[in-house]
Structure 1
């Protein structure tokens, strides 16, 4: 492929740090200053170079056209469905011709959709892409609070709208990135999380510290809001880096104050009478600390249900009355078993329990007030129509409502597109019809092969291999291996029409669950955590070797792909075994571990990865840093780094520094490209056009480097 004019070579300006007697070189430290004209010039030049090289790949445009055709084959993509009493359904929808998700409400499952928030209309006015980060309807659905941000920044501004008139209520409130909106039963007061104001001279590491939960009368100015939970409330012992969140129970009795220590899964929890909190006289009482190992909570009628892994590596569910709260006397209502208990949600009829067998989810329900666990009160499985995945609770997910029976869940599998199902109180499961069906929802020729791979120390690592039926095991299949393996997040069966384009090109797509994921519970997660993090990429390498040994592919046709914290996985697999891969794609990758703590989001991630301020933490971070482990004179595979410049989670300099160091180090002659999007961030809020074009570039890059005919210059 003709190279044309070459982009500038980054000048080395080495900075050496010493940690516990170990010197660490940082030749491109100055890249961390994004305002430096030299850095800006380098970024723009290399982005233009990457895009020009990708655009010259034969077959790239046809691949994009196919991806767009697959994506547009369904009339609407529907997400984030929320039920509200009165038979109201809120949802985010993106039509086949739309570029961004919009917020709608409808009366009944078959009612007409009413458009509430249109980010595309805002983009036309401002010239910048906008996205809905979160939304929360009032208890009667007459109002809705939503967060809106631009350019992938996730810097959400809180708005309140009257859903009947479509008019704004009150003034917008900035620094509402986390949302965390809760409503009083009458819909007249809301609580929400607000980040502190960043004053001139404050280090960016302070951005997510000292956030507060504020209470504000709807329609009143932000100056009238008062803090009700957080470091502003003295005597609670909440740390500066801990994030507060308040849930107002719908019955008006209690306020539940959650404390999140950054990305740590275990939560702290306080309780107070709701009335006192709203009147400015909160009487908080601590119920849980992180040591209690509670990772999920649901409330119903004075009862708190808690998912905990304390003494139960695959977790169990406890129940405790808030009338006399004492964790020591909490009853086990769902005991530990071979299944992993993931989360719970409380509906009017029952407690619903999300569990996992391997990477496949199972749904159970248990009647409220059934007492302690026993044969007569055991949770009953709800058979689901698809062997796959769903979530009962999580960011933007509200499957249950305490005033309504049953749950509404998204359900999908490796070869079954996501559909939205209603689970009734009698256990019946029906498709709501909210997600329109498409012609490619259930490809008959796509299958998933589930395997377990022996790792370096004998651990058996689960991997799902998605491929066309009758795939030839001759070592010639272009193959992508994906992994993440952080925060206990598990790769569960999910459907992607984009993936069909890769399979159509003769490809195989494999998904690994190394240690660091939560596929087998707490022990598996902690097996790839801080000092044990090397197990994550060693497990990943073992999965790559399995794909080669079983002749799904060979090194010349094997690529690895990971995003965000998955950058640790693919980056360190690359630096450990560069000869094993043809192509590597870290997307918004966490690659420069030693420097995480100087970034705003690095502080919340200390519980997951550790700190350079301790020797054990430093040693662990040095081991997981791709940037620090790049060795000069090494034949590295082809690398494509992608990143949104406005990323608030992983700073773009992690990718630019790593790209510069790889370009200087590699002797293979294979390209190191960095594709930047100056109107995007971590991927949250990216438009359809941004997403599909990036995916086409990644697939085309892989096929080019794997030597697949039709993609060679």
Structure 2
């Protein structure tokens, strides 16, 4: 379906599924036959036939039977690849020896975080009392798993003094979180059980007394839609919790169903700040009200900004609000607002520069702002008093993956890593940097591995950054097995990230490449918008240009190249293999979007309209159709080998999306190469997954693409 380069766009100007525990994974000698029940929709005068609409009824017996057979067939095919067991064992050794931490958060003088220690399979909640010394486990979700239902921590928030911590628990990767409260001293749960709580670390804000907290909750039958903020008192029945803000609360603020509100409050602060996110849009609403009025139930919220002002993240320090904005600043700037005098014009405290500013953390000695320039993390300190922002020196050129500040301490915790440097958690201040010892260096030896940044020239002559990672001295003979991955959505940047398992690919002479395509945030908001809705074809064509560059420069060849994309990156890889199937030996479409025309009918669909568009608007529909992978498949085309992966409990991209795409590819391809649909019966979108699940999936995907490349020791069984 050769339409992306034709200029058409310019011319046109979850809950756990009830069948999950009983679904049978049936083996087969051939891909299971797929029933076709065409449904014809007409969008703005254009008729579209959908032969697999029936799959969207995922609780139907027909879908249960079909996907069970597909999963059995995929498992059978993958298990016949001779090299898989040895690769799995190598991946297991590399991954199990490496520790990881995430979600660093202070509660008073205590540090809380999620840790995945060497040999552990599940993320656990740990505390390091007084911020130093030895950490201890507060909560191991494996101890709560029973009856075949695996539990995972979806979010947590310590109270101001660190004596309590709210913890969201969800089953089987479902992200269907139930909020609990854990007493840090006793290690026991209180009686609180609050369901339908979604939003990660934004969900809960504790008050100073440690007995009250604000939380975000959806109504019965909803997930991320129609959410409201409530105030809870420990021990009080949920029915008595007053609503504070959100959908349908104030007539003067008529929010859409997908608008999500969360609160922010500084320690000792007199003002509450409400931020309302319109779906997945970058720009947000900001409001404020005196805390005393909110607690008394008669708050008069004052609007500080609307999305037109292009504020997108806020941080409260004392009586001041700091916001990152891309208004007339594509790489963002930092503004300061006096909450006691919100009528005054915002003060510019960190002007736009060459680094893309993307997050910040409040410390005692200032606001620390992180950013990225040319793929390298940057850190700046903005003093609260007089003085100008200063760059903070970092120990190596890597990405600043996470920062965590404490208003009681100078400096911030910084988690850094690089493509070939394992994670470190550092105490960083204006004058000193020291390792916290939270993480030991990964034992995997990357001393023989290096990374390099290339640039690919896209269809419109725009230079696209392309990172390549490979063994030093590698011969550029065009014969290197290469994995090229890309994303390109929501303004999310592909920053340097360490993965010990990559060594299993690189040590065999393989190449790993990352395409920093438009739609991401590598160069700020302009880069994001250049791959959004009407410009989405740029994302796909950028990825193709990166593939061509790898081939032209001798890193690989079409017979040795695999493309991958996950989630929204499913559009990227799905578009690439349907536009240029000749460029790839194999592809991995991972928990990926495929049918853009039906996406807004999913639970999270309305929120994603801001990123991908709506079929209800003609001009957006005419841009969405040419980049929707499912609709680009053409019968009789020689497609590469494709492995599609999905978790049956995925609440973000429902399994029917990759299922429909897999069915269409299986029916259409003339290459004779396999198209497999790999199903994780205890998985979702990746959140809440275990280390073991990730290792198994990596072994399956890499074995599949190595077999498709004809690498020694890897081959598909008789077909």
TM-score when scaled to structure 1? 0.94
Q: 1:653 aligns with which of 653, 656, 666?
A: 656
| Corresponding position of 2:140 | 118
| Corresponding position of 1:297 | 314
Find the aligned partners of 1:443 and 1:142 in 2 and give their Cα distance. 41
State how 1:432-443 maps to structure 2 within 5 Å: 432-440=436-444, 443=446
Q: CA deviation at 1:162?
A: 0.6
State how 1:118-517 maps to structure 2 within 5 Å: 118-123=140-145, 125-179=146-200, 180-198=203-221, 207-234=223-250, 235-326=252-343, 329-370=345-386, 377-392=387-402, 399-424=404-429, 426-440=430-444, 443-517=446-520
Find the aligned partners of 1:647 and 1:51 in 2 and give their Cα distance. 20
1:196–1:208: 8 Å Cα contact kept in structure 2? Answer: no
Find the aligned partners of 1:524 and 1:106 in 2 and give their Cα distance. 40
Find the aligned partners of 1:400 and 1:232 in 2 and give their Cα distance. 34
2:106–2:162: 8 Å Cα contact kept in structure 1? Answer: no
Q: 2:120 aligns with which of 83, 94, 98?
A: 98
- After superposition, the C-alpha distances for 1:492-541 in whole angstroms (9 at most, x for unaligned) are 11100111111122210000111111111111111111001101110110
Find the aligned partners of 2:336 and 2:477 in 1 and give their Cα distance. 54
Find the aligned partners of 2:136 and 2:450 in 1 and give their Cα distance. 38
Aligned-residue CA RMSD (Å): 1.4
Moved more, 606-615 or 331-340: 331-340
Q: CA deviation at 1:4?
A: 6.0
Q: CA deviation at 1:617?
A: 1.5
Find the aligned partners of 2:337 and 2:535 in 1 and give their Cα distance. 35
| Corresponding position of 2:68 | 44
| Corresponding position of 1:203 | none
Q: CA deviation at 1:659?
A: 0.5
Find the aligned partners of 1:286 and 1:99 in 2 and give their Cα distance. 45
Find the aligned partners of 1:326 and 1:591 in 2 and give their Cα distance. 46
Find the aligned partners of 1:627 and 1:415 in 2 and give their Cα distance. 36
2:361–2:404: 8 Å Cα contact kept in structure 1? Answer: yes
Find the aligned partners of 1:230 and 1:117 in 2 and give their Cα distance. 31
Is 1:561–2:564 an aligned residue pair?
A: yes
- After superposition, the C-alpha distances for 1:101-134 in whole angstroms (9 at most, x for unaligned) are 11121214543333222111112x3321111000
SS of 1:120's partner is: helix
Find the aligned partners of 1:113 and 1:187 in 2 and give their Cα distance. 23
SS of 1:148's partner is: strand
| Corresponding position of 2:103 | 80
Is 1:521–2:533 an aligned residue pair?
A: no
Find the aligned partners of 1:34 and 1:173 in 2 and give their Cα distance. 27
Is 1:66–2:87 an aligned residue pair?
A: no
Moved more, 488-497 or 165-174: 165-174
Find the aligned partners of 2:269 and 2:232 in 1 and give their Cα distance. 16
Find the aligned partners of 1:253 and 1:391 in 2 and give their Cα distance. 31
1:354–1:391: 8 Å Cα contact kept in structure 2? Answer: no
1:185–1:251: 8 Å Cα contact kept in structure 2? Answer: yes
1:307–1:342: 8 Å Cα contact kept in structure 2? Answer: yes
Q: 1:54 aligns with which of 40, 54, 78?
A: 78
SS of 1:126's partner is: coil
SS of 2:258's partner is: coil
Find the aligned partners of 2:249 and 2:703 in 1 and give their Cα distance. 54
- After superposition, the C-alpha distances for 1:678-713 in whole angstroms (9 at most, x for unaligned) are 111001011111111001111111111011111125
- After superposition, the C-alpha distances for 1:602-648 in whole angstroms (9 at most, x for unaligned) are 11101111100001111122122100111111110000000001100
SS of 1:435's partner is: coil
Q: CA deviation at 1:170?
A: 2.4
SS of 1:416's partner is: coil
Find the aligned partners of 1:93 and 1:597 in 2 and give their Cα distance. 35
State how 1:493-642 maps to structure 2 within 5 Å: 493-642=496-645
Find the aligned partners of 1:699 and 1:478 in 2 and give their Cα distance. 10
SS of 2:667's partner is: helix
| Corresponding position of 1:10 | 34
Find the aligned partners of 2:551 and 2:137 in 1 and give their Cα distance. 50
Q: CA deviation at 1:69?
A: 0.3
SS of 1:608's partner is: helix
2:643–2:701: 8 Å Cα contact kept in structure 1? Answer: yes
| Corresponding position of 2:111 | 89
| Corresponding position of 1:664 | 667
Find the aligned partners of 2:192 and 2:521 in 1 and give their Cα distance. 42
SS of 2:705's partner is: helix
| Corresponding position of 2:18 | none
Q: CA deviation at 1:236?
A: 2.5
2:182–2:188: 8 Å Cα contact kept in structure 1? Answer: yes
Q: CA deviation at 1:208?
A: 2.6
Q: CA deviation at 1:470?
A: 0.7
Find the aligned partners of 1:110 and 1:524 in 2 and give their Cα distance. 41
| Corresponding position of 1:395 | none
2:226–2:258: 8 Å Cα contact kept in structure 1? Answer: yes
2:415–2:424: 8 Å Cα contact kept in structure 1? Answer: yes
2:593–2:653: 8 Å Cα contact kept in structure 1? Answer: yes
Find the aligned partners of 1:238 and 1:249 in 2 and give their Cα distance. 25
- After superposition, the C-alpha distances for 1:278-309 in whole angstroms (9 at most, x for unaligned) are 22222211101111111221121211111111
1:465–1:509: 8 Å Cα contact kept in structure 2? Answer: yes
SS of 1:488's partner is: coil
SS of 1:593's partner is: coil
Give the total of aligned pairs.
687
1:195–1:211: 8 Å Cα contact kept in structure 2? Answer: yes
